[in-house]
Amino acid sequence: MTYGGIAMPTTMREQTSKLAELFRIFLRIGPMTFGGGFAMIPLISEEVVAKREWLEEKELDDMLSVASAAPGGVGVNAAAFIGYRRAGVAGAIAAVIGVTLPTFAIGLLFYLFYSLLENNVKVQAALQGIHGAVIGLMVTTAYRMSKAAIFDKMTIGLACLSLLGLTVFGLNPLWVISGGTLIGVAYLFVEEKLGHRIATESRRKAKRAKPEAVGPEYYI
Amino acid sequence: MLKALLLAFLKIGLFSFGGGYAVLPSIQAEVEGHGWLTQDDFARAISIAAMSPGSIATNGATLIGYRIDGFGGALAATVGILLPSLVLIVLVAMFFYRMRDSKWMRYVLYSLRPIITMLILYAAIRLLGIGGGSGGGAAGLNWTFIATLLIIGGCVFGMLRYKLHPVLVIVASGLTGIVLF
């Protein structure tokens, strides 16, 4: 029985077993996400599309692109979305707790372990190296994203404004995000009213058949 | 303290567009604004968060919360950063089929993408400025700074040219760090 695309629970017992199943699936997927949330996507697809057939592949893809526009990491967002579709709000909560619990515990363990070795010179040196790696990963991510993100005058303008606002004027990132989005949306709205057609995707992106060619960096 | 942590991370979570690295400047702004952590503590927490599985933003929240106020702090910060996206995703899921091809959705994405890109670049610049755990406050060219630049260059090259996996890059850089520093 479905209602508005959401499977409605027929009994309490059925609902409980659905929640337990969601929790278990995402508990297993959570620790596999070394290297960021996108690593989770193939695993999620395997579990909920191939094995259990809760969603179709196309629906998962569309869901991921919408999820990338919402705040939050894609792993958590995907868990919440699938949990909701399967068992309502409780399902979303069960899936998010499931996906977060292992990384929460492992992260804390790493940190405690580090605290014990805090004064070890080798550990300090390794962390200093990883510090460089994190910056390198970020630069790579920004570079790859820029190909799909910055492709016309307005997106170049928005990028320059954002960087200026952040570095020179020291604006809070929250203001840059909300202000910049307002400017961009207002611009597109005005252009539309003037009868100009503006491509909202880069042509390079549109040419690719597979979204993952440019997609993954969004999901880290 | 717990309430302040929860509120701060709720605010961060609500604006965590782009996820991951793009969220780091917001976390840093909040944490330093409240005077909760030094820059070095922040950089160290982020390095460990990057090593752990899962999103660097959520892990960062957990570790920073722990550092500030123990286990309760870790819990408050993690719940804080996750709750807004949980609520928003449930709302998105409710209207998913209507939103999928919405004009406004495309407009928002068009504007958000370049901003998120620059946010990540800015986060990288800020992290480089911190220099993490070296203790030497000198802004000039020192060995730590040059070696860090070398590692960054190596990582970017390896990832772009040879499509190396991020985990491999992190492990290799950790080992390189032991040799260089």
The domain limits of chain A are 2-116, 121-219
Is any Cβ of chain B less than 8 angstroms from the Cβ of A129? yes
Pair B40, B130: CB distance under 8 Å: yes
H or E stretch at A7: strand A6-7
Assigned token pair, A16: 């409980």
Identify from A2, A89, A141, A212 which residue to disrupt to test chain B contact, counting B C-beta atoms within 10 A and taking the largest count.
A141
Assigned token pair, B16: 């965590």
Query: Taking CB atoms and an 8 Å limit, are A108 and B57 in contact across chains?
Result: no
Of B26, B112, B124, the CB nearest to A139: B124
Q: Please name the residues in contact with B22: beta carbons below 8 A apart, sequence gap of 6 or more.
A: B16, B116, B119, B120, B123
> 10 Å Cβ neighbour count for B107?
20
Identify from A2, A130, A153, A171 which residue to disrupt to test chain B contact, counting B C-beta atoms within 10 A and taking the largest count.
A130
Give the tens place of pLDDT for each residue, B27-57: 998 998 999 998 888 988 998 988 888 888 8
SS3 A6: strand
Confidence label for B138 from pLDDT (cuts 50, 70 and 90): very low
Q: Which residues of A touch B94 (CB under 8 A)?
A: 4
Q: Which residues of A touch B106 (CB under 8 A)?
A: 200-201
Is there a domain that residue B162 lies in? Answer: no
Identify from A33, A44, A68, A76 which residue to disrupt to test chain B contact, counting B C-beta atoms within 10 A and taking the largest count.
A76
Does the structure show a pLDDT above 80 at B166? no
Q: Compute the nearest-CA separation of A104 from chain B (Å).
A: 7
Pair B177, A126: CB distance under 8 Å: yes
The total number of residues written for chain A in this structure: 220
Cα A183 from chain centroid? 24
Is any Cβ of chain B less than 8 angstroms from the Cβ of A80? yes
Is any Cβ of chain A less than 8 angstroms from the Cβ of B1? no
Confidence label for B92 from pLDDT (cuts 50, 70 and 90): confident
Residues 39-78 (A) with a CB less than 8 A from some CB of B: 62-63, 66-77
Chain B residue with CA closest to A140: the answer is B156
Distance CA A29, CA A41 (A): 9
**In chain A, which residues have pLDDT < 70?**
1-10, 33-39, 65-69, 203-220
Q: Compute the nearest-CA separation of A11 from chain B (Å).
A: 22
For chain B, how many structural domains are there in total?
A: 1
**CA quadruple A164, A167, A170, A172: dihedral positive or negative?**
positive
Q: Compute the nearest-CA separation of B138 from chain A (Å).
A: 16
The packing angle between helices B143-162 and B166-180, to 10°, is 150
Torsion angle defined by CA atoms of residues B41, B46, B48 and B51, in that order, rounded to the nearest 10 degrees: -170
Assigned token pair, A129: 């190296």
Assigned token pair, B167: 């985990």
Is there a domain that residue B99 lies in? Answer: yes
Assigned token pair, A180: 């910049």
What are the phi and psi torsion angles at A119 (to 5°)? -95, 5
Q: Please name the residues in contact with B34: beta carbons below 8 A apart, sequence gap of 6 or more.
A: B4, B8
> 10 Å Cβ neighbour count for B102?
12
Assigned token pair, B142: 């020192």
Look at A210-214, B47-51, B76-80, B99-103 and tell me which has the smallest mean pLDDT: A210-214
Q: Which residue from B55, B147, B90, B70 is spatially nearest to A86, judged by alpha carbons?
A: B90
Is there a domain that residue B174 lies in? Answer: no
Reduce the secondary structure of chain B to three states and give it as a string.
CHHHHHHHHHHHHHCCCCCHHHHHHHHHHHHHHCCCCCHHHHHHHHHHHHHCCCCHHHHHHHHHHHHHHHHHHHHHHHHHHHHHHHHHHHHHHHCHHHHCCCHHHHHHHHHHHHHHHHHHHHHHHHHHHHCCCCCCCCCCCCHHHHHHHHHHHHHHHHHHHHCCCHHHHHHHHHHHHHHHC
Of B85, B110, B169, the CB nearest to A80: B85
Q: Compute the nearest-CA separation of B127 from chain A (Å).
A: 7
Range of the domain at B53: 2-104
Of A35, A69, A84, the CB nearest to B105: A69
Q: Which residue from B168, B82, B22 is spatially nearest to A75, judged by alpha carbons?
A: B82
**What's the mean pLDDT in B7-24?**
87
Is any Cβ of chain A less than 8 angstroms from the Cβ of B170? yes
pLDDT at A29: 85
Query: Taking CB atoms and an 8 Å limit, are A5 and B151 in contact across chains?
Result: no
Identify from B17, B107, B110 which residue to disrupt to test chain A contact, counting A C-beta atoms within 10 A and taking the largest count.
B110
Q: Which residues of B touch A84 (CB under 8 A)?
A: 89-90, 93
pLDDT at A36: 59
